[in-house]
Structure 1
Amino acid sequence: MCNLYTSTTAQIAMRQLFTGLSDRAGNLGPDTFYPDQIAPIIRHDGAGLELVKARWGMPSPAFALKTQRDPGVTNVRNLSSPHWRRWLVPAHRCLVPVTAFAEPIKGGNKWFQAADPDRPMFFAGIETRGWRSLRKVKDGETEDDLFAFLTCPPNSVVEPFHPKAMPVILTEPDEWQTWLHAPFEEARALQRPLEDAKLIGI
C-alpha cells in the first residue's frame, strides 16, 4: 500500500488551479512524505478552499487498536465502514497534492508519476481537525489536523508491483470539483483506478 509520496507542485501553481484558494501553509518546497508526517492538503475553510498542512494518518477504528497508541490510517478503502462514513461528506473531503508515489517491492520501492509531467495530480483524501490522540508515546497526547487518502484496485501499470491496491488519483478539474463538492453518491464513483495511459512507472 502506498506509504510514500512526493509533491513538487509550487504553491503559486495551486493558487492558479483553484480560484480564491487561501494559502495558509507557510513556505512549501518540494518534499517527500512518509506516514505521520506533516504534508500539504487542500480543504474547505467555510468560505471556500484553503491550502494548509496536516498530519498524514486518520484515526484508526477502535477494533484495530491494541493499545492507547494510534499510529493512524494512511489509506482508506472500505467506504461502507461506519468508521469512515462520518468523514465522507463534502466538508471533510480534501485533495492531497502528489507528483509521484511509491509502492513497496522487494528490496525497495517502485515509483509512479503522471505520463504528462505538466499534468497536476491529487490524491482523493478525507480529513478531520483537532483530533486528540496518542500518536507517539514520547510526545504524549496531541491535537492534530489529520488526513488520509482513498485507495482502489490497481490499474495495469501498478498491478505487477502491487496487485491489491493503488491510490485514488484525480487529474482533471471536474474530478477535483466533484470530489470536493458533490453528494457522496456521485463522488464515490471516483474511487477507481487512474487510466493506464495517464501513469508511468519510473
Structure 2
Amino acid sequence: MCNRYRLTAKQAEVAATFGIRTPYEVEETFPIGDIFPTGKKTPFYGAVVVQDGDDRRLERMEWGVPTQVPSKRDPTVKLTKYVTNVRNLSSSFWRSMLTTPARRCLVPVTSFSEYGLAPGEDGKKPLHWFDVPSRPVFAFAGIWRPTERGNAYSFLTTEPNFLVSPIHPKAMPVILHDDDYARWLTGPWNELEPLVSPYPAQLMRLE
C-alpha cells in the first residue's frame, strides 16, 4: 500500500506535462514535498488533474476517499475509513467512479515510497523510494468524488512488478503512460481496464 509520495516539480513543469494552465507562480510547487493520506481530524491534500470540458485543470483535493466500514468490536457500528489505494475494482462503490469519466483524475507524482518487509538495525522498516528516470513527472490512475469536507481522491493499485515486489509484494500504484492520459480522463471504462497493470520495471528506478 502506497501511503506516501512526492510531487516536487515546479508549477510550470506540471502544467507542461499534463497540458494545463496553472494559476500559480511558475517557481512554486503544489503541494510542497511529501504528500500523506488525509486523517479524520486533520485533512491532508494533494494535487490532481481533472478534465474540464476541452481543457484540464489542477485541483487541490484530500487524499483519501471516506467510506463506512463495520467496527471490529461491534459490526453494527459504522466507522469512517479514508481509502487511499483502490484494488477491488469490482466493488460497486468504486465502479460508480471508474465508469464515470468525470470522476477519474490523474495524480501527478515525482516519486513514491513503500516500506520494506524487514526492520533495519534501528528496529524500523526502511522506506524505499521509486521513480521513473525518463519521466520527471508521471501520473497515477486516480478517481475522486465529492464529500462533506470537499473533494477527495484515491488511486488504483495493481500487482507489483519485479522491481517493487521484493520490497512490497502485495501491490504497487497504477502508473499511466503519457499517451494514456486522455484515455483515462475521457474513455469508456471497458476500454481502460487493461491499463490497470504493472508499469514496466525496466523503466523505473529504486532510489
Give the TM interval when normalised to the shorter protein: 0.7 to 0.9
Asked if the contact 1:121–1:169 (Cα under 8 Å) also holds between the matched residues in 2, the reply is: yes
Give unpaired runs (5+ residues) of structure 2: 39-43, 72-76, 120-124
Residue-by-residue CA offset, 1:124-160 (whole Å, 9 max, x unaligned)? 000112x12xxxxxxxxxx221000000000000000
RMSD over aligned CA atoms reads 1.9
Q: How far is the alpha carbon of 1:196 from its aligned partner?
A: 1.0
Name the SS of the counterpart of 1:23 in structure 2: coil
Q: Does 1:150 align with 2:156?
A: yes
Residue-by-residue CA offset, 1:157-198 (whole Å, 9 max, x unaligned)? 0000011100001132x1111111110011121110000111
Counterpart-to-counterpart distance in 1, 2:186 and 2:152: 19
Q: Does 1:35 align with 2:32?
A: no
Asked if the contact 1:42–1:96 (Cα under 8 Å) also holds between the matched residues in 2, the reply is: yes
Name the SS of the counterpart of 2:62 in structure 1: strand
Asked if the contact 2:31–2:47 (Cα under 8 Å) also holds between the matched residues in 1, the reply is: no
Counterpart-to-counterpart distance in 2, 1:48 and 1:145: 19
Partner of 1:2: 2
Residue-by-residue CA offset, 1:36-68 (whole Å, 9 max, x unaligned)? 1111110123452110110000122x3x24355
The higher radius of gyration belongs to: 2
Q: Which runs of 4+ in 1 moved over 4 A?
A: 24-27
Partner of 2:55: 48
Counterpart-to-counterpart distance in 1, 2:108 and 2:70: 29
- Of the structure 1 ranges 107-116 and 159-168, higher mean CA displacement relative to structure 2 is found in 107-116
Counterpart-to-counterpart distance in 1, 2:181 and 2:54: 17
Give unpaired runs (5+ residues) of structure 1: 133-142
Counterpart-to-counterpart distance in 1, 2:97 and 2:23: 22
The TM-score normalised by the length of structure 1 is 0.84
What is the one-letter code of the residue matched to 2:11? Q
